[in-house]
Amino acid sequence: MKNTPIPENAVNTAIEQMNIRNFEKATIREVVAIASKLEKDTGTEFIHMEMGVPGLPPSAVGVKAEIAALERGVASIYPVIDGLPELKNEASRFIKAFIDIDVAPQGCVPVVGSMQGSFTSFLVCGQCDKKKDTILFIDPGFPVQKQQITVMGYKYESFDVYDFRGEKLHDKLESYLSKGNIAAIIYSNPNNPSWICLKEKELAVIGQLATQYDTIVLEDLAYFAMDFRKDLSCPFQAPFQPSVARYTDNYILLISGSKAFSYAGQRIGVVAISDKLYQRTFDGLTQRYGGGSFGSVFIHRALYAISSGVSHSAQYAMAAMLKAASDGAYNFLAEVKEYGRRAQKLKEIFCKHGFHLVYDSDLGDPVADGFYFTIGYPGLTGGELMKELIYYGISSISLVTTGSQQEGIRACTSFIKDHQYDLLDERLALFKAQHP
């Protein structure tokens, strides 16, 4: 038996009770459930690095605006399905302020978090052209988005961008698009989990090929402007958040309130559909719905059927946060830089004890410190490392679940508490001693 903080038999029993046949492929929620059960059963504190939940207080600007809206009685009224005019206008202005792209308020649509935004986007994109029935993931990525594809019964392809950065991206991407079956491409930037950031020249390649092959690009900006190597916090001033929107009209931007504003609990985000895509008609949509532009079908057919609108008060909160950021009155990035500080400390501790960064280079530059990082250990696969760390009271997810072809785990900084740096140091020292 292992001499570890969490007894081996307790770990094995917890996994068996969850009926997980391949622990390497356990979902984030399953890992959370196992870690929480073990923490409760053994009384041993866990260092939770598995789930990307904001670990900072919510934006005071949003909370104040939402309370005021509730006190005005908005809870008794159905929200307008395409969004409050205040939110649509401020979302359009925010995109101009921090990306330097023009998207009309009409195409800025509130959603119940970016997860609903991606689900609805996948759904509609896959209905535009019956020949295009597949979503392409530029991985690694958020595992639940592939689950959304499975729920819809769609097909997907994917490739790990690790070996296809820079000039190599063009031919790799075209090898998929040239088949003629790709309805949409999705990636996150900064990337979950590797925290690499696609450069302008790579986004230009994606945009140009999306136009050439008439494919829609879904740009997931869940970690908006959180590449802390550059100061992206000044509205209407360069540098701006990099975006594919500079290089194609076939784009949808997914902007979340969860991470940048720490407003995850209220489930609020914005989908921004390019002006030209919003107005386009597609034969597949016409046949299915009897008419309507892409934007109209997205809102009044698909989104209406899924949720019939986003919480009224949360929309007021989002509008207030976006406005304050664009006004320069609220530096939202100053608050979330804490994740970068945590990542720097955590990486130092892991590397001190023989671990290595898996995604360690960003086209020649060190990967930024941020919400996530990726680590491996000599001689262990990602799944083996994930399970071994559970015995030491450290929970994470394997990179295989993110679509990565690399061996290692994803570590999230959001739940780390100040006293846990020393605790992690102690546990990893024991881990190294038992894994020479």
Give the pLDDT confidence score for residue 18 in this predicted structure.
84
Give the pLDDT confidence score for residue 53 in this predicted structure.
83
Greater model confidence, 338 or 25 = 338
DSSP 8-state code for residue 65: H
d(CA 160, CA 28): 20
Question: What average pLDDT is seen over the chain?
Answer: 95
Hey, which residues does 256 pair with through a beta bridge? 269
Q: What is the pLDDT of residues 348-404, one digit of tens each?
A: 999 999 999 999 989 989 999 999 999 999 999 999 999 999 999 999 999 999 999
Phi, psi of 127 (to 5 degrees): -105, -5
In single-letter form, the type of residue at position 259 comes to: K
Give the pLDDT confidence score for residue 360 in this predicted structure.
93
Q: Is residue 3 scored above 90 in pLDDT?
A: no
Give the pLDDT confidence score for residue 253 in this predicted structure.
98
pTM, full prediction: 0.94
Please, which pLDDT band fits residue 183 given cuts at 50, 70 and 90?
A: very high
Residue range 194-216: average pLDDT?
A: 97
Chain-centre distance of CA 356, in angstroms? 23
Phi, psi of 78 (to 5 degrees): -65, 135
Q: What is the pLDDT of residues 275-328, one digit of tens each?
A: 999 999 999 999 999 999 999 999 999 999 998 889 999 999 999 999 999 999
CB 173 within 8 A of CB 202: no
d(CA 280, CA 361): 39
Architecture of the domain delimited by 60-327 = 3-Layer(aba) Sandwich (3.40)
Lowest mean pLDDT: which of 20-34, 38-52, 186-200, 309-323?
A: 20-34
Give the pLDDT confidence score for residue 287 in this predicted structure.
97
In single-letter form, the type of residue at position 330 comes to: Y
d(CA 83, CA 299): 10
Hey, which residues does 380 pair with through a beta bridge? none
Hey, which residues does 187 pair with through a beta bridge? 219
Residue range 87-111: average pLDDT?
A: 98
d(CA 198, CA 166): 9
SS3 content of the chain, % helix, strand, coil (to 5): 45, 15, 40
d(CA 192, CA 119): 17
How many CB atoms are located within 10 Å of the residue 179 CB?
13
Residue span(s) of the chain under CATH 3.90.1150.100 come to: 8-56+336-434
CATH 3.40.640.10 is the classification of domain 8-56+336-434? no
Q: Is residue 2 scored above 80 in pLDDT?
A: no
Residue span(s) of the chain under CATH 3.40.640.10 come to: 60-327
Q: What is the pLDDT of residues 37-82, one digit of tens each?
A: 999 999 999 999 998 888 899 999 999 999 999 999 999 999 999 9
Q: Write the CB contacts of 39 (distance below 8 Å, at least 6 apart in sequence).
A: 45, 46, 393
